[in-house]
Structure 1
């Protein structure tokens, strides 16, 4: 059966370039870890590892709230970080609760992770100074637009006009 590229809506995406840019930047950060022989560390783990270092052991709920993620998303991430050897769970104050804590291996590199975080933020600030419309401004502007009308409502309005959605 011949492919009809014109009928494939996934061939056009406003967001794909942003996702690809972030993936490329994350790959560059991962390359820095590999150069320092830090194995199994994903850039997406670093905020949680730094937060645990700064605050001490936390429940998944506490950690999720601390970094602005859902419990479900953080539970999955903690599982991946545990598998990679960066965190472990220990008994909490009562028998039902568990706390997430850093492993010795994570504690050994947390200073490097903090240095990378500071360097990354400085590099992003440098890039933003080079461009006419910084990404932080774009994010703020999008957040304000979404306060006026939610993303959900915008999509729902478009779907209401599309017979394929019915």
Structure 2
């Protein structure tokens, strides 16, 4: 089988970029001054309340380092608050800043509207892409691409051995 042109990862990256860029555009048009890199953190803190970077990382699915690289500039701008964890001073608990609460409320409302937009998009293309990507993520967590490639190669080798016998 010939390699795909362009490769699957490139297509996935472009689609992800389009969603991100068009989300930023939508927030700009709607006058919501919120960095798109903060959106998952904002939604998590809004839904679950204050959390540590480790808790945010587990909830969102990014590394703690990525979360901290995104939340710290937001703290500086007042989008997020930070305070030491009273149970462990080595940890920091992040929340939504008072000055940002109205912006966050608008962003959360718009994201609720986007749920219907995404559902219409899934209907248009005939695939629930979110469900498909979640299933793909779970399948790759069970068996990595290299494991799948190794299995495929072993199967092809076994088939070749059977044919020559």
How far apart in 2 are the matches of 1:78 and 1:156?
Answer: 39
**Per-residue deviation, residues 103-133 of structure 1 (Å, max 9, x unmatched):** 2232121211111111111111001111233
Q: CA deviation at 1:140?
A: 4.8
Name the structure 1 match of 2:67: 74
Question: Displaced runs of 4+ in structure 1, greater than 6 A?
Answer: none
Q: CA deviation at 1:141?
A: 5.0
Distance 1:61 1:146, change over 3 A: closer
Q: TM-score, normalised by structure 2?
A: 0.73
Q: CA deviation at 1:99?
A: 1.0
Verify: 1:18 aligned to 2:8, yes or no. Answer: no
Count residues in correspondence. 149
How far apart in 2 are the matches of 1:148 and 1:92?
Answer: 34
Distance 1:129 1:150, change over 3 A: same
The unaligned stretches of length 5 or more in structure 1 are 1-8, 159-166
Superposition RMSD in Å: 2.9
Q: CA deviation at 1:87?
A: 1.2
How far apart in 2 are the matches of 1:31 and 1:119?
Answer: 15
**Structure number with higher strand proportion:** 2
The unaligned stretches of length 5 or more in structure 2 are 153-165
Distance 1:65 1:137, change over 3 A: closer
How far apart in 2 are the matches of 1:84 and 1:13?
Answer: 39
**Per-residue deviation, residues 42-69 of structure 1 (Å, max 9, x unmatched):** 3232121122123322111122222232
How far apart in 2 are the matches of 1:147 and 1:88?
Answer: 34
Verify: 1:48 aligned to 2:41, yes or no. Answer: yes
Q: TM-score, normalised by structure 1?
A: 0.72
